[in-house]
Amino acid sequence: MRKNDFRVKLPLWNIALYTILMFWAYSVVYSSDMLFTGFEGVFNEGGEFALDPFALLSFFGGLVLIIIFFFAYFIRLNRHNKNNPTSKMSAFTIFKLGEFIEFDELFSQVTQTATKKIYVFYSQILPLLVLLMFFPFNRYLFIMVIFLLLIIQNLIYYRHIRSYITN
Amino acid sequence: MLRNRVKELRARHGFSQSELANYVGVARQTIGFIERGEFSPSITLSLRLAKHLEVRVDQLFWLEGEDLDEEK
């Protein structure tokens, strides 16, 4: 097991995707706000187009970044599957995530302890998130916080697995 | 704590960690963790290691505080 193995690096790819989605979510929230308020704010009082320029940048920039991300992701995934025919990964999995390294009994145990850490993390942080939700913040903030938790989750997982790979 | 002679016997056979790992079907890191006593292998893996290092399991692993008797 090498530290550059795609399965080891997968949490970093997840972090990259969540960061892009955080940026893109701004335009999605903005668009849905407009949709549910009868496109209020699309035109200003003078009848001119008045879209939030950051929302436009977020939408188109985010879309480009998502396309680039998946392009790079599939290239890396194909390379991994070509070099590791006995441990192929699929692009989208629900129950057996690609970052679960169960190559042998040590790494099965390491994966278990890493997921235990994540369990503890969510047990502690989700009640705090509920507290935050009592306040009337914009829902984009909650979306950001959820993405942030996903990023932290992947960081915890990556750091734990990496400590065994590099040891 | 589980003590072992994996490193010593591996060196005696002239195996690298990677070679021994390939023989028994684990990652190189797993051999390193076993050698340092930081990971206790399963009975199956212990048997495989013992087979490749040409000793009995009780000559390869023993509990700290108990004497290793190679003549068992």
Q: Does A103 touch chain B (CB under 8 A)?
A: yes
Tokens representing residue B30 in the block: 């797993």
Q: Does A109 touch chain B (CB under 8 A)?
A: yes
A64, pLDDT greater than 90 = yes
Q: Does A105 touch chain B (CB under 8 A)?
A: yes
Task: Work out the pLDDT band at B67, boundaries 50, 70, 90.
Answer: low
Mean pLDDT of the A68-85 span: 94
Contacts of A49 (CB under 8 A, 6+ apart): A42, A43
What letter would DSSP give residue B38? S
Asked if B26 lies within 8 A of A105 by C-beta distance, the reply is: yes
Residue A94 has what pLDDT? 75
Query: What share of residues in chain B are helix, strand, coil (percent, to 5)?
Result: 55, 10, 40
Q: Is the CB of residue A20 less than 8 Å from the CB of residue A147?
A: no
List of chain A residues whose C-beta atoms are within 8 Å of the C-beta of residue B28: 1
Q: Please report the ipTM that was assigned to this predicted complex.
A: 0.81
A65, pLDDT greater than 70 = yes
A87, pLDDT greater than 90 = no
Tell me the three state secondary structure of residue A43.
Answer: strand
Tell me the three state secondary structure of residue A120.
Answer: helix
List of chain A residues whose C-beta atoms are within 8 Å of the C-beta of residue B27: 1, 103-104, 106-107
Mutate to test the interface with B, among A8, A104, A161, A164 (most CBs of B within 10 A): A104
pLDDT tens per residue across span A101-160: 888 999 999 999 999 999 999 999 999 999 999 999 999 999 999 999 999 999 999 999
Residue ranges making up the domain that contains B12: 2-58
Closest chain A CA to residue B45: A105
By mean pLDDT, which of A30-34, A94-98, B31-35, B42-46 is the weakest? A94-98
Q: How many helices (H) and strands (E) does chain A have?
A: 4, 0
Tell me which residue of B7, B29, B46 sits closest to A1, measured CA to CA. B29
B71, pLDDT greater than 60 = no
Mean pLDDT of the B53-67 span: 90
Tell me which residue of A156, A75, A62, A59 sits closest to A111, measured CA to CA. A156
- Residue B70 domain-assigned (yes or no): no
Task: Work out the pLDDT band at B1, boundaries 50, 70, 90.
Answer: confident
Q: CATH number of the domain that B21 lies in?
A: 1.10.260.40
- Residue B30 domain-assigned (yes or no): yes
Asked if A106 lies within 8 A of B27 by C-beta distance, the reply is: yes
Tokens representing residue A95 in the block: 């129950």
